[in-house]
Structure formats: C-alpha cells, structure tokens
Structure 1
C-alpha cells in the first residue's frame, strides 16, 4: 500500500478570481496547483494551511472555511488534500517566497481549465467552476 501524504491547500479568492501557483521543482514541474503544503505532526489541516500560505506567499489568512478533501493515488503515494476557501485579506498581496513555485496567476471561472493542473487538482478545479457562484458570492457579504 502506498504511503499517504496529508496536505492542506488554500483556494484564495479575490475580485472574482482565484490564486494558483506553478510548480518549479519535482516530477510535476510546470504543472499548476493551489498553494499549500504538508500537514506537520501536531497541527490541524487548517493550521497547516495558514502556516504554509504565510511561508509561501506572505499572507495571513483570516477567514477561511473547509470545502473538501481530495484523495488522489499517484504512482508512489496517495495524496489526501484538505482544501479551504479563503478570501484574500484586505491590503495583502501574494508574493512567491519559496523556490517551490516558479509562477503564479489569478484565474477567473472561464479560465479554470486553461492551465495544466496537477492530477490531484483537476477535479477540484472542475468543481470550483461548477459551484463558483455558491462558493465565492459569500465574500461580497464581508
């Protein structure tokens, strides 16, 4: 049985777009994903998501809510990814602070499938497109 890697990812939303990053290293170099990283021992997925986004992008996520857990079987491990939706906090801008990511962009609903997603992120991106209004209209209430 493959090793399971538990990660947390943020779907950061601002002005009707979501923030995605491109991998700079590893077997999936050049593919796109939602920012985040491994859940460390002793922390919750939500804590890991906040920590990883602070380290990778310099953003202090404030409001966030759980959306889904994605499980994907890669060749040499199983990924368990807890996904959280979070509006971009006012006055903050994502900055790529680590070498893991080579590029970033904001995608609108119509652009979701225009990037070469990591396999685990494809279904998540498709679901975002389907439920876009339900997921992101809540931000307008803040």
Structure 2
C-alpha cells in the first residue's frame, strides 16, 4: 500500500477478478524473488513511482470460489515514495487517485477492504 499525506494510492482494475473495482497496487512474486523485492518492483512497475523503504504489516488470504482462485498476500506499506503516479499499464489499470479514509471510492475490491483494515491506526485521514 502506497501512502502519502494521510492518503492511499488506489488504481481501478480492468481485468478480472473484480474488473472495474478500485484496488491497491501489487502483483505476483517471480520465481526465486524475495517478497519484499517483488512488492517494490510491482509498485514501481504499476505506478511509475520510485519506492523507498517499505514495511511488512501483515498478510491476507482470499478465496474466490467462483473463479477457483486462492491467494495469500503479504501486505507492505510504502511511505517513502518520489515522483507522481502514472498509468504505466493501461491494459490493466484505467484510473488512479489518492484517497483518504472518508473518501474511498466505490466499488472497492474485497482484498483492498481487508488490506486497509490492516493498516495501523491513524495512517489514513
């Protein structure tokens, strides 16, 4: 999760599962790639930002029976970022924005709801 000034960066998905839903950035770990390195790589690829120090804050498990998918995700926070976000993968993501807790967009993906609930208190305003 990328945070700046009490807001979280979300992107709108174009592909299933949850096409059309707002989601945190993330992706898959490549073979033999450390998870922290993968989190940074995926965040930089999807946003065009330069990611500094990141911190692991927990994990989630998501089972999507309709799609026969089972995901276990490690959650990281990036607070040290430089640059401005971009649509670097327009075939996967259609929009982005910085959102505070009171103005989270809808629809918000189930995974993103769980991830946001794992944030330490006071991270989003």
**What range is the shorter-chain TM-score in?**
0.7 to 0.9
Q: Which residue of structure 2 lines up, in the alignment, with residue 24 of structure 1?
A: 14
Which has a greater percent of helix? 1
2:60 counterpart (55, 61, 70): 70
Match of 2:85 among 81, 94, 97: 94
Q: Deviations over 1:25-77 (max 9, x none)?
A: 22421011110110111011111111112211112211110011111111111
Q: Distance in 2 between matches of 1:79 and 1:86?
A: 21
Q: Mark the runs of 5 or more structure 2 residues left unpaired by the alignment.
A: none
TM-score by length of 2: 0.86
Equivalent of 1:123, from 98, 114, 117?
Answer: 114
Is the CA contact (8 Å cut-off) linking 1:61 and 1:88 kept in structure 2? Answer: yes
Match in the other structure for 1:109: 101
Please give the TM-score of this superposition, normalised by the length of structure 1.
0.77
What is the number of residues matched between the two proteins? 121
Q: 1:88 to 1:62 in 2, by over 3 A?
A: closer
Q: CA RMSD in A?
A: 1.7
**Structure 1: unaligned runs, 5 residues or longer:** 1-10, 137-142
Relative to 1, partners in 2 of residues 1:127 and 1:51: Cα closer, same or farther, differing over 3 Å?
closer
Residues in 2 aligned to 1:124 and 1:42: alpha-carbon distance in whole angstroms: 25
Aligned 8 A contact 1:64 1:84 in 2: yes
